[in-house]
Amino acid sequence: MNKNDIKNAGLKITLPRTKILKILETSEKRHMTAEDVYRILLADDEGAIALATVYRVLTQFEAADLVIRHNFESGQAVFELNNNEHHDHMVCMRTGKIVEFHDEIIEQRQREIAKKHGFKLVDHALTLYGEFEESPKMNKQ
Amino acid sequence: MNKNDIKNAGLKITLPRTKILKILETSEKRHMTAEDVYRILLADDEGAIALATVYRVLTQFEAADLVIRHNFESGQAVFELNNNEHHDHMVCMRTGKIVEFHDEIIEQRQREIAKKHGFKLVDHALTLYGEFEESPKMNKQ
DNA sequence: ATCAATGCAAAAACTTTGCACTGAT
DNA sequence: ATCAGTGCAAAGTTTTTGCATTGAT
């Protein structure tokens, strides 16, 4: 619930933070760069919010586990709201479209592999790169 | 075979390119940043090679499939020689140590997931982040 | 001789930081 | 009133680019 999330993170409830959180919650794109967020703020806005603030807030949200930061191939960090349902990503190299998926077999295998190597697994990132075929019948994002 | 690889890529055989390729082949670290390579060049060297050249050469090698570029969480790109044996990575968050692995079950699952989503799979990256336990008994790099 | 490759310095792209001002509690 | 949060501009980091010179064929 929006503002409580901010408060629970030990952060004060300010305009930049509520706006940024709302953008992440309501944007049709689930995966956004700091610039993406900044541009939306510029558009819908009365008082400007600095790009530096967007970065600061996103970084704080990440630290509070409200948001997940991804480093896809683009070189630009991408942020998404953390809904606590772990998932991986398929990234379309043509359109940039991102689709999430989750596969328990893969998850399980990863745990086994880590164990076999004496590796304490903290996190992982699996990203498939390719192209969606024309006339997509499913999923948005 | 060293120089042939360079020639086959349509590139002229020059000192920077042969040196950089040799560093990638012989360094005990298999995964190196441009800076890593540059620093080795500085150390063992008579004539200096510019960092810009290192980036250019690595990018050309990547285009020629001689080298694979990774974007791990560090924010700094990491390069490794392409030995044409696909593998994924475990990255130690404490020491930076990188261990490669390959799991056919995961590979197979990825192909199935892509197919199910009408996604033409071109490439993928799976990276496990965590920590290796003390007294490693196996594997290097 | 020709055109690709290089060094150097400058720029670009993305992100972070210092500092004085503003705002939440 | 206090101290966290913000805007702005400046700096940091990593990577790329322009251009004159050098070097491979």
pLDDT value of residue B16: 96
Q: Tens digit of pLDDT for each residue in B13-63?
A: 999 999 999 999 999 999 999 999 999 999 876 778 999 999 999 999 999
pLDDT value of residue A12: 97
pLDDT value of residue A3: 83
Cβ count near A15 (within 10 Å)? 10
Q: Tens digit of pLDDT for each residue in A84-105?
A: 999 999 999 888 889 999 999 9
CB contact under 8 A, A133 and B122: no
Q: Does the structure show a pLDDT above 70 at A141? A: no
CB-based contacts of B32-39 (< 8 A; 24+ apart in sequence): B32/B78, B32/B79, B32/B80, B33/B76, B33/B77, B33/B78, B33/B79, B34/B58, B34/B77, B34/B79, B35/B76, B37/B79
Q: Does the structure show a pLDDT above 90 at B80? A: yes
pLDDT value of residue A55: 98
| Among B92, B120, B137, beta carbon nearest to A130 | B120
CA distance B3 to B9: 10
Task: Kindly indicate the confidence band of residue A135, based on its pLDDT and cuts at 50, 70 and 90.
Answer: low
CB contact under 8 A, B124 and A129: yes
The larger pLDDT score, comparing residue A92 to residue A1, is at A92
CA distance A127 to B70: 12
Residue with tokens 């042939």: B4
Nucleotides of C under 7 A from a protein CB: 4-10, 13-18, 23-25
pLDDT value of residue A70: 93
Task: Kindly indicate the confidence band of residue B110, based on its pLDDT and cuts at 50, 70 and 90.
Answer: very high
pLDDT value of residue A21: 97
DSSP letter for each residue of B46-77: SS---HHHHHHHHHHHHHTTSEEEE--TTSS-
CB contact under 8 A, A122 and B129: yes
Q: Does the structure show a pLDDT above 50 at A112? A: yes
Q: What is the 3-state secondary structure (H, E, C) of A70-138?
A: ECCCCCCCEEEECCCCCCEEEEECCCCCEEEECCHHHHHHHHHHHHHCCEEEEEEEEEEEEEECCCCCC
Q: Does the structure show a pLDDT above 60 at B78? A: yes
pLDDT value of residue B75: 84
Helix (H, G, I), strand (E, B) or coil at A16: helix
pLDDT value of residue B3: 83
- Across residues B104-125, what is the average pLDDT? 96
For B30, counting Cβ atoms within 10 Å of its Cβ (0-12 exposed, 13-18 middle, 19+ buried), the class is middle
Q: Tens digit of pLDDT for each residue in A50-67?
A: 999 999 999 999 999 999
* 3-class SS shares of chain B: helix, strand, coil, % to 5: 40, 25, 40
pLDDT value of residue A48: 87
User: Nearest-5° angle of CA B8, CA B14, CA B20?
Assistant: 85
Residues of A within 8 A of B121 (CB-CB) are 128-130
Please choose, from the candidates A58, A128, A93, the residue with its C-alpha nearest in 3D space to the C-alpha of residue B106: A128
User: How far lies A111's CA from each of A53, A69, A72, A104, A108, in Å?
Assistant: 37, 22, 23, 11, 5
Q: Is A15 an 8 Å CB contact of chain B?
A: no
